[in-house]
């Protein structure tokens, strides 16, 4: 019995030792968490998935073994790297490898200054040019490697980076609205013709909104009999029913009967235009065959082209200013810059620069003191040295101050009685002046006055310069 107990005790100890050995030195299995080969985006943090260690198919707690990782990984450089897991479990060493590929799998980013292109219907030119910039997460700025082509009313921008990541962007093209056809009279809608002279109607223009001539039979109605005084109507009608009508007035011009005014010359001057009333002024001057001088500005851009008509009808054109803004008196250079800009308009419409001018406010203006002391005197000296001549006035119509039609008439008709060679100040942007001009000219022509235009050789009127 004692032998059996002893034998049993010894067997238990042996079994216990075998159990301990089995627990410590049993089958160890190492498995990668995730795939054998993994990819990670360049520059981004690499998240290691690690390994799982099993003993006899039971997962071991991480505290039961030692783990060290050896790797040559550089997450900022594209390439293939190896990662080795070294596991030590109770003196037993195990190794397992994983392959890591650092890749660029991000598309380049395309940015543009506009999200659509507006194209002019007529010229087929884009209103604004596309500007684009392309940044790649790995290659940096690769704008110069992109291509852009026009396909089916779109601009297509395409780019491929060094890792063959592709991106593209469509920018739609939108045409502006088709302009309306333009059917208009050539020259003025009101014409004055001297009785007995020949009259040739200047006709019309009919174009599409892009300026291309529309060939179409236009219905013409009305005739002009220059042998008889009166007002005649000439009209043009297109196939759409649009009708243009021109009024032609045949008249007998006033005759200079001599008298005390036969040697007196009046220089009518008009400032601040061209504007919406200028064409009526030109028609009235034509009616009486009177020539005048226009000191022009660019205040009303839509009417600047009337400078051409002023010149072609025999009037003199001088510079008043481009902006008619008082800040041109800040300095001589500021004045010259504004003056030269306006003179470019004069060149455009007359074929030559003007050598005559009028100061805004006249040479005696005091407003300029608020901008620069002595500036008008300096400008006058500089302009004179450059060969320009300025003109003030000795008869003021008063229209700039808001005079009524009757007062404007009185100021001019009575004012010219007090001078031998009169320079009259008026404004072709003032409706009272425009509407009273016919009465003024009717009176002055009947009284035998002569009219002239100003040039560098004309008699000058200079006010006293006070700044």
Q: Which of 91, 103, 87, 101 is nearest to 42 (CA)?
A: 103
Contact 89, 64 (CB under 8 A): yes
Confidence (pTM):
0.52
CATH class of 109-175: mainly beta
d(CA 390, CA 436): 27
pLDDT digits (tens, 9 = 90+) for 128-160: 999 999 999 999 999 999 999 999 999 999 999
Can you give the pLDDT of all 467 residues of the chain as single tens digits? Answer: 555 545 556 666 665 655 555 555 689 999 999 999 999 999 999 999 999 999 999 999 999 999 999 999 999 999 999 999 999 999 999 999 999 999 999 999 999 999 999 999 999 999 999 999 999 999 999 999 999 999 999 999 999 999 999 999 999 999 999 999 999 887 667 676 768 878 888 788 899 989 899 999 999 999 999 899 888 999 999 999 999 998 887 876 544 444 456 668 899 999 999 999 999 999 999 999 999 999 999 999 999 999 999 999 999 999 999 999 999 999 999 999 999 999 999 999 999 999 999 999 999 999 999 999 999 999 999 999 999 999 999 999 999 999 999 999 999 999 999 887 799 999 999 999 999 999 999 999 988 888 999 998 888 999 999 98
d(CA 314, CA 343): 18
From the options 2.60.40.10, 3.90.1150.60, 3.40.50.1110, 3.60.15.10, give the CATH code of 182-249.
2.60.40.10
Instruction: Pull the structure tokens for residue 247.
Output: 């009024």
Beta-strand runs (E) in 62-122: 66-71, 79-89, 92-103, 109-112, 117-119
Instruction: Pull the structure tokens for residue 206.
Output: 């009919």
Q: What is the topology classification, in CATH, of domain 30-103?
A: Immunoglobulin-like (2.60.40)
Instruction: Pull the structure tokens for residue 210.
Output: 């892009």
Residue 154 phi, psi dihedral angles, 5° rounding: -140, 150
The DSSP code sequence of 204-226 is EEEE-TTS-B---PPEEE----T
Show which residues are catalytic. Answer: 271, 427
* Every domain range in the chain assigned CATH 3.20.20.370: 255-451
From the options 3.40.50.150, 3.40.605.10, 3.40.50.10330, 3.20.20.370, give the CATH code of 255-451.
3.20.20.370
* Every domain range in the chain assigned CATH 2.60.40.10: 30-103, 182-249
């Amino acid at each position: 019995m004692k032998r059996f107990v002893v034998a049993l005790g010894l067997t238990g100890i042996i079994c216990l030792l075998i159990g301990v050995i089995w627990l410590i030195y049993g089958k160890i299995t190492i498995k990668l968490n995730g795939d054998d080969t993994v990819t990670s985006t360049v520059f981004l943090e690499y998240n290691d998935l690690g390994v799982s260690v099993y003993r006899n198919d039971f997962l071991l707690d991480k505290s039961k073994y030692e783990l060290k990782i050896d790797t040559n990984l550089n997450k900022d450089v594209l390439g293939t790297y190896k990662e080795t897991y070294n596991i030590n479990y109770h003196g037993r060493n195990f190794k397992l490898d994983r392959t890591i590929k650092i890749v660029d799998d991000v598309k380049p980013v395309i940015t543009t200054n506009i999200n659509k292109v507006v194209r002019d219907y007529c010229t087929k030119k884009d209103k604004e040019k596309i500007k684009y910039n392309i940044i790649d997460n790995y290659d940096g700025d690769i704008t110069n490697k992109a291509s852009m082509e026009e396909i089916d009313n779109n601009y297509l921008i395409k780019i491929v980076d060094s890792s063959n990541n592709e991106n593209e962007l469509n920018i739609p093209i939108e045409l502006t609205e088709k302009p309306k056809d333009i059917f208009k009279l050539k020259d003025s809608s009101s014409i004055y013709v001297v009785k007995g002279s020949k009259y040739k109607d200047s006709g019309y223009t009919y174009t599409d909104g892009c300026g291309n001539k529309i060939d179409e039979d236009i219905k013409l109605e009305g005739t002009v009999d220059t042998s008889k005084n009166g007002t005649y109507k000439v009209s043009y009608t297109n196939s759409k029913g649009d009708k243009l009508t021109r009024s032609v007035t045949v008249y007998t011009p006033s005759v200079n009967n001599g008298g005390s005014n036969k040697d007196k010359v009046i220089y009518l001057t008009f400032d601040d235009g061209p504007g919406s009333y200028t064409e009526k002024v030109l028609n009235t001057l034509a009616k009486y065959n009177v020539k005048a001088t226009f000191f022009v500005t660019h205040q009303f851009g839509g009417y600047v082209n009337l400078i051409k008509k002023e010149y072609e009808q025999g009037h003199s054109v001088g510079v008043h200013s481009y902006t008619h803004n008082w800040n041109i008196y800040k300095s001589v250079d500021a004045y010259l810059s504004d003056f030269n800009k306006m003179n470019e308009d004069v060149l455009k419409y007359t074929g030559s620069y003007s050598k005559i001018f009028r100061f805004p406010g006249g040479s005696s203006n005091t407003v300029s003191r608020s901008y620069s002391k002595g500036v008008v005197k300096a400008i006058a000296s500089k302009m004179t040295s450059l060969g320009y001549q300025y003109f003030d006035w000795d008869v003021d119509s008063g229209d700039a101050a808001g005079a009524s039609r009757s007062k404007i008439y009185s100021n001019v008709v009575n004012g010219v009685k007090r001078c031998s060679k009169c320079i009259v100040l008026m404004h072709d942007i003032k409706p009272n002046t425009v509407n009273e001009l016919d009465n003024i000219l009717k009176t002055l022509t009947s009284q035998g006055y002569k009219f002239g235009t100003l040039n560098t050789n004309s008699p000058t009127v200079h006010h006293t310069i006070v700044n």
